[in-house]
A and B are shown apart, each in its own frame.
Chain A
């Protein structure tokens, strides 16, 4: 590794004892000796196994649930349905006032995605729990599913989630997050060329090698110790407290080494129901996703559709950018209203454009709820933006890197969402990239600075 110290040399302080020095990671010794403790590296006497009965339908009304045969199955200790959950309706971000509550811990009236949790079975062994789960009878009336952003936004589309009452999230700004900067139509009118392109992505699963799960132990002092691989300890603590209607001091959340997260372990999915199960049975409970559940049930990155319309001048300046982005939340909000909002703030990318119009929608469909994953709201946006940048450069016959130098944001530029640019360093990054990638650009670009505009 090389530290390029020529950039911002006057701002640097290289007199550090730790920064810039290689350090052995403190957890490596445990990893190589197999002694690092992950949440599942524990067993407790009398531990029960939780198996979830899940919806086989994308969208259906629940007509009846019959657990009588399952209850009689050898080894079954307890079966939980929606009525057992003290506060069954929740949404994770209610903690920061992003409501409404729109998701049930266990399905009540409807299932809104294929895989939604309906009934929890607790048994002495995993196999007994599986066998009993197969005996739970749920009668459904199948409803028409909404499986794409386009279908969801049709005027006569079936309503996916009644708690929203419409197939998109209603922000305080209206049907989408909006950014208005300059006059985009004026910009298009003045442009030499207009380019409008549509970009789409599919859901992406994080696929950690360690699946999502937790083990809960009821303690003698009335507290519950929850060993979990959550990436969001306090979201989990506070939402579990709400769902269980239990003061937080009775919930002892124990985290630790996570066997791969990538944002896939920030939902509050396994802990509340496992703690409830431990409370109602008085026994330790293990709820760990199978590989199939990890791939099918855990939230993926959202599918997105992004329409970008640009006005560009022959000299390389982008004079107007209009973006309409759709984030497919699946059936429930989870972190998606935030992801769509983050996308809005991220557009129009790291470029200074005088006229910008952004609409970013969070859309509900009968697909697996999506949630956080590595730069959600940003990653797919960047894919779309940078492909668009290449297409624009090609359109006006310009080198794609030089085209980016022309439009790169600099310190002091006002961003479209009215945040002044600070510490941009994009120019310097591209200069170094030009050198190491052996992709030479004109010397006027190599003389640029992100701190001052030339001339």
Chain B
């Protein structure tokens, strides 16, 4: 099976791999590049656990063929903190107890990241809409919504 090259920036670093042509971005990130922060929950685009950010847009890595990400800027939850310094969203998710099993958390944080990058002062409705493609089966939506709103507030205090 012929392999093709995929090359993109992953959390600020240039990465390249030879992969099978039809590989999804999710499998390349997880199996080839060792970034397992995006999760395979459904591989149908229904759960949002694989959410990453490609060129600033919230993207389902499970439905994206890796080749279409060539030359782009890919960000994942694993790249959000710098060393021990957490991103305000990560800190807020901790403080608000916004994770139970944790499986949806990286995708949830990616969806919230895109929201806050575009809308630093979201309403509760904005937050609900922004995370509406991400399923938390532990049903921890209220703490998650609180965490995103808290992160927005802490950002505006910092700024």
Q: Which residues of A contact B (CB under 8 A)?
A: 24-25, 27-38, 40-41, 43, 125, 206-211, 257-262, 288, 290-291
Contacts and interface: CB of A to CB of B under 8 A. Distances in A.
A33 B39 contact: no
Contacts, number: 100
A31 B41 CA distance: 15
A67 B90 CA distance: 51
A35 B37 contact: yes
B97 A260 contact: no
Most A CB within 10 A of own CB, among B89, B94, B99, B102: B102
B128 to A, nearest CB: 18
B47 A31 contact: no
Contacts of A24: 94
A285 B3 CA distance: 23
Interface residues of B, number: 40
Interface in B77-100: 77-78, 80-81, 86, 89-91, 93-94, 97, 99
Contacts of B102: 27-28, 30-31, 36, 257, 259
A32 B94 contact: yes
A221 to B, nearest CB: 26
14 contacts: A28-B93, A31-B99, A31-B106, A32-B77, A34-B38, A38-B36, A41-B36, A43-B30, A43-B31, A209-B47, A209-B135, A210-B103, A211-B41, A259-B41
Given A34-B76, A209-B47, A210-B103, A260 B137 contact: yes
Nearest to B92: A32
B39 A210 contact: yes
A360 to B, nearest CB: 30
Nearest to B109: A32
Nearest to A127: B22
A38 B103 CA distance: 8
Given A32-B94, A43-B30, A257-B102, 7 more contacts: A28-B102, A32-B89, A32-B90, A35-B37, A40-B40, A208-B103, A209-B135
Contact of B137 (A29, A41, A209): A209
A260 B137 CA distance: 7
B87 to A, nearest CB: 8
Contacts of B137: 206-209, 260, 262
Contacts of B43: 290-291
A189 B3 CA distance: 81
B49 interface: yes
Contacts of B78: 33-35
A260 B138 contact: yes
Contacts of A25: 97, 99
Nearest to A292: B44
A33 B93 CA distance: 10
A52 B93 CA distance: 38
A412 B46 CA distance: 51
Most A CB within 10 A of own CB, among B89, B93, B94, B97: B94
A259 B106 CA distance: 12
Contact of B101 (A41, A258, A290): A258
Contacts of B90: 32-33
Nearest to B136: A209
Nearest to A25: B97
A324 B43 CA distance: 43
Interface string B106-120: 100100000000000
B104 interface: yes
B42 interface: yes
B59 interface: no
Contacts of B42: 209, 291
B31 A33 contact: no
A209 B41 contact: yes
Nearest to A27: B102
Contact of A31 (B38, B89, B105): B105
B93 to A, nearest CB: 5
A33 B77 contact: yes
B81 A33 contact: yes
Most B CB within 10 A of own CB, among A31, A206, A290: A31
Given A209-B41, A210-B41, A291-B46, A33 B80 contact: yes
Nearest to A124: B1
A41 B35 CA distance: 9
Contacts of A125: 20
Interface string B22-39: 000000001100011111
B44 A291 contact: yes
A260 B81 contact: no
Contacts of A288: 40
